[in-house]
Chain A
């Protein structure tokens, strides 16, 4: 940094660019770090412009120290421990805000640009979806632009395009190197060992257990759960899109969880009917659950099958994960092993006589399990149960009674839990499956989007003739739930709405939905990002290298190759730019230089300050044999270079003359 840089003030134009870049970063922080940090950031940007107008700035050192201490104290107070990414990023954001207030000269400006780049990186640490990528890209471009603009400040003020063009050129030149590094730079194994505070598992949506009443906010959550492609082209009808997440064996009233379970699943599943292949790209949630259509047949590498046939990742899912799985909707087991039977018949600790009496009214009429199931469904259908997302809390030992006999209001989780408990009381083995139901079909990308609001819970009962059979009590209480899929839709559409047949949820979109089209298009691009760019980790890279026949190269030699390729690229750029810097002087000048070189070889050296006419005169005297040609060459040169409206045809004769010129008398 030159000493002059402390005396050069930041011109307005680059400051605007820098601010725009920083503004682009703000949305990436919203929702990922504590909300006051981006707000402080915004305020200090505004304050900077306010102060700039009035030629003020933060000067007093005690004030600066006090503000910094306040900022650090605030971050500590918010996060407590400094051992998380959020803490670090928040600290950086707040201190950057203060730097904005303080910045005044060229050095500060450069520091801010660097800070901006670091913040770009931080944004990726917090989230890496496509929206964030776009924001970061915009910020990055603007930062480079600000730097370019800053160093052009001697030029006319207010120019927008030249710096932008320079910036784009720079970035375009960087593109091959970016691609090179992306594809070939050796990836580290696994994700970075960073500690995140708010694991996405804390957020609403799917969780590994069932405790109704805690999840009514699901309905409003539009967060993505996963996306599914169907490579074979067979997409089940929307009423069969049951995405199996976990099987809950252990229930106590309305609260269910995975419990100890009956041990691992046996491979005694009969495969029948069609198998549906799905390629699923799941968002990171910090847990280990994965999803597949009811019911998965196989476990892809790194994934195990839990008791009750559900997928479970070996490692927690902390980054976007892609896997392919085969499901058979009609698969069933032939027999129930004793441990499973015990686990699926275990009764809750407390059961009221009312419940027993209710179940007894069914078992007394028929011993046939199927008939009991039908009777129970009939009970739910006819006894005035309502589907409600805000039924209030069911607490205490008589929560089940409260649901069944008094309040009669709830959503899928309540009914699944209640139904499963009733079945167990009736002696029918039952369990709860949690997952998602339905999904939104994206017509651009030809895949299904499943959101947190699609979360669902249903029952499975063991029937001797058909094995584990899916029973969804919610379907008899609120049939629309099955067709419309989303809980959110349930709130907004009337219950009388006719069930809509057809593929997934496309038909249930509001008419004239330009907005939803845009949303789908955006999601398609976003999906491409999530499924092609983000999962390109160590594994993806290895596959790519294998596919391109470079698998033998690895480790150190890979680095060397990259360095060589990058050096080659840079060398090529340098050569091109060197040539470029000479060519604008056009062919005429080059030819004249050739002529001067040739003349110099035979004793007539042009001095750099010598004009063409003077040189011609001197050269003619020195080389009388070539005098005529020299005169011709120089007069063509003068005509081309100094005369008004030079005719391009002279270039030909000029070139020919220079070519023929040897300096020796002919």
Chain B
């Protein structure tokens, strides 16, 4: 199982050069059955990473480019009148896939973003009063530009909370950039990517993630973090955030070949899991969520 995971990570790493940490986080997020949000300035490989992930997973995927004039029906699907059968038939939208790649999710209006909510939390959508189940597994890998960019609608907290992790890529270092400049075109590489997992392997791995042992001492640490965040910040981390932290660290531990979670695992996924949920604190308006999450990890002692 571990070989599969390693192979998967290696394959992504070949596409996204010099971003091993971000790639590992992205992989652990997917293995923990979580939705992933990739946030960074344009041109650092967000879309490339998301496509690499989707293609390597070995499941069907659809790409949706969010724009400000996108309507919910555009992603959920439309009911169109069928002249021959004399009735409306539902034509599923691009969200009906196992991996939905959503580019620039914060360019769409709140209305469309909220259409994503139900899909992300319940794995099903409602259109024209009928509820449709989405395929299993179902991932949303969304990319977004930083909020200060022109023409963006910040994602509401409720939606941010539904992303298990938010990762940033950042500008590659000099050596990596050189390798990229010299290497093949990324789009060519993407086309040649072969799926690493079968559906069964993916399910097995996802099941194994939930079975990674979490000792009472570790849960103490996790809860200490949650408590500390609730004491320091107005909203603090939600119970869902606690689950995200647990599943993310379990996945991280499994990726590193352990059958138990260590405090280090929590610390490793901590920023990615917590930062986007803490970024809206009215008490510390100037602080970014990342700084707050770092402060938490830096001050809450490991019991």
Contact = CB atoms under 8 A, between A and B. Distances in A.
B261 interface: yes
Interface string A11-36: 00000000000000000000000000
Interface stretch (A235-243, A476-484, A609-617, A624-632): A609-617
Contacts of A614: 264, 267
Interface in B189-238: 213, 215, 217-218
A641 B298 contact: no
A549 interface: no
Q: Size class of B's contact patch?
A: 10 to 19
A644 interface: yes
A642 B218 CA distance: 7
A65 interface: no
B262 A609 contact: no
Interface in B247-303: 259-264, 267, 297-303
B36 to A, nearest CB: 25
Contacts of B299: 609
Contacts of B300: 609
Contacts of A609: 267, 297-302
Contacts of A611: 262-264, 267, 302
Nearest to B253: A642
A610 B260 contact: no
A451 B112 CA distance: 92
B210 to A, nearest CB: 14
Classify the interface of chain B: helix, strand, loop or mixed: mixed
Name, among B217, B263, B300, the residue most crowded by chain A CB atoms within 10 Å (CB to CB).
B263
B298 A642 contact: no
A643 interface: yes
Nearest to B296: A609
Contacts of A643: 213, 215, 259-260
A643 B267 CA distance: 18
Interface residues of A, number: 13
Contact of B260 (A585, A608, A642): A642
Contact of A642 (B213, B297, B301): B213
A609 B224 CA distance: 12
Contacts of B262: 611-613, 638, 642
Contacts of B298: 609
Contact of B217 (A608, A610, A641): A641
A449 to B, nearest CB: 60
A643 B253 CA distance: 12
A543 B260 CA distance: 68
Nearest to B256: A613
Interface in A597-616: 608-614
Contacts of A644: 213, 215, 259-260
A611 B260 CA distance: 14
Interface in A333-364: none
B58 to A, nearest CB: 31
B259 A608 contact: no
Contacts of A608: 301-302
Contact of B261 (A610, A612, A642): A642
Interface in B93-123: none
A505 B259 CA distance: 80
Which of A609, A610, A638 has the most chain B CB within a 10 Å cutoff?
A: A609
A124 to B, nearest CB: 46
B293 to A, nearest CB: 13
A638 B303 CA distance: 13
The list of the 10 closest CB pairs from A to B, nearest first, reads: A611-B263, A608-B301, A644-B213, A611-B264, A642-B215, A642-B260, A643-B260, A613-B264, A641-B217, A614-B264
Given A613-B264, A643-B260, 5 more contacts: A609-B297, A614-B264, A642-B215, A642-B261, A644-B213
10 contacts: A585-B303, A608-B302, A609-B301, A638-B262, A641-B215, A642-B213, A642-B262, A644-B215, A644-B259, A644-B260
Interface of B: 213, 215, 217-218, 259-264, 267, 297-303
